[in-house]
Amino acid sequence: MNFKESSQNFAEFSASSADYPPLHFQTRYEGAMVMYASSEVVANYLNSHGGWFHRCAQPMKVEPFTEQGYILTVGKFGSFGYEVEPKIAVLFDPPEDSLYRMYNVPVPNDPTQGYAVDYKADMTLGDITWDDAAIKGKEQLIKKFGDRPVPESLTQVQWQLHLQVMVQFPKFIYKLPQNLLRSTGDRLLSSIVAQISPRLTSKIQQDFHSGHDLPLPPKGGSHFKAVDIHASPNPDLAEEKKEDIDMSPIKAA
C-alpha cells in the first residue's frame, strides 16, 4: 500500500455503519527543529530509522512492521465510560528530494477495535547558516564544540502532521449531543499530539546530537503549533467550534 492508497481503509470504515455512523475527529500540527550538522549528515541519520525510531518513540510500544514500518501502541484514552487504545501501523517512504513521508496502513491480522486512523506526516530538510538559525548566545554555544569541528551549515527540519480518527461509539454514547462529542474528540486528538510530537522532536534532537558527539541545541531550537482547521477554506474541514468538555487520557503513553 502506498501513500495515496493509505486512506482507503479510513473511507471504508466511514461507510460501514448506517444506523450509528462513526464520528470524525481531526487535528493538524506543524513544527521545526534545528540540527547542528549538514542536511547530508542528518539525512543519513533519518534514513537509519531502525535505530532512532525505537529509542525516540518510547514510552510508546514499538513493534517492527516490514523493513520500512512499525506498529505503535499509543496509550489508552477515554471518557463517558468508553475507552480506546489506539494502535497504528506506520510506514516510512524512501525520501525524495529531502522530503520524508510517513503514513499509516491497516494493522495486519488485527480485528477492528471500533476506530479507524488516517495519519500523514511530512518532513523536509534544508541547509541554513548560523545567522539564519537566529540562535541566541551563538558565540557561547559555538564554544561548547571545544576541539570538535564547528559545522559550516546547519539543518532546518520542518514537519507537518495531519491526523484523523473515526470512532464507532457504543449506542448509549449517541444520546449525547454529537457537536459536543465532535469538539471533545478534536480536543482529545490535539492533547495526544501535543504530548507526543514535542516529546518525539526533543528526543530526536537529543538522540542525534548525542550520537554525533555534538552539543544540544537550546529549547528555542525547536517549536510546534496547531493549525486551525476550523479556519480552513476547505468546506470539508470547516466546522463550527462548540463548547469543549474534558476527555482526559486514562493512561498516557
Q: What is the pLDDT of residues 220-242, one digit of tens each?
A: 677 888 887 665 444 443 333 33
pTM of the model: 0.79
178 lies in some domain: yes
Task: Count how many domains the chain has.
Answer: 1
Q: 16: Cβ–Cβ under 8 A, 6 or more apart, which residues?
A: 22, 168
169 lies in some domain: yes
243 lies in some domain: no
75 lies in some domain: yes
41 lies in some domain: yes
Residue 110 belongs to domain spanning: 8-14+22-236
Q: Which regions in the chain score pLDDT beneath 70?
A: 1-9, 14-19, 79, 111-112, 134-136, 195, 220, 229-253
210 lies in some domain: yes
92 lies in some domain: yes
pLDDT at 180: 83
Q: 44: Cβ–Cβ under 8 A, 6 or more apart, which residues?
A: none
Question: What H or E segment, with its residue span, contains residue 113?
Answer: none
CATH code, 44: 3.30.530.20
199 lies in some domain: yes
